[in-house]
Amino acid sequence: MTVVALLSVAPMTEKSMAEEVATAVEALEEYDVAYETNPMGTVIEADSTDELFAAAQAAHDAVDGDRVSTVLKIDDKRDRETAADEKVEAVEEALGRPPSSDRE
């Protein structure tokens, strides 16, 4: 089974969140997950929901702050194996082009 999730962990602050987000992402290294950070969060792939939840909790706990906001969206496709890149490739195939603007 492959579980794909979008994780967003952020301290509630007026300052830049980059260092705290980096700390959260670094916490994922302790788990058997694949991940890629984008401007809106981090996509995580794991073999089980147990590993995914443990990694998400570690990322949440790693952020220092009086208030931390965490959002976790999970796609647990139980009838077949899937991967995050396959989801993007399917949209690319349907569009007939990469799923992004050509703006630089």
Domain extent listing, the chain:
3-95
pTM to 2 decimals? 0.85
Q: What's the farthest any 2 CA atoms get from each other in the chain? A: 46
Strand order from edge to edge, sheet including 33-38? 33-38, 41-46, 3-11, 68-76
Fold of 3-95: Alpha-Beta Plaits (3.30.70)
pLDDT tens track, the chain, 104 positions:
589 999 999 888 888 889 999 999 999 999 999 999 999 999 999 999 999 999 999 999 999 888 999 999 999 988 888 888 888 898 899 999 988 887 66
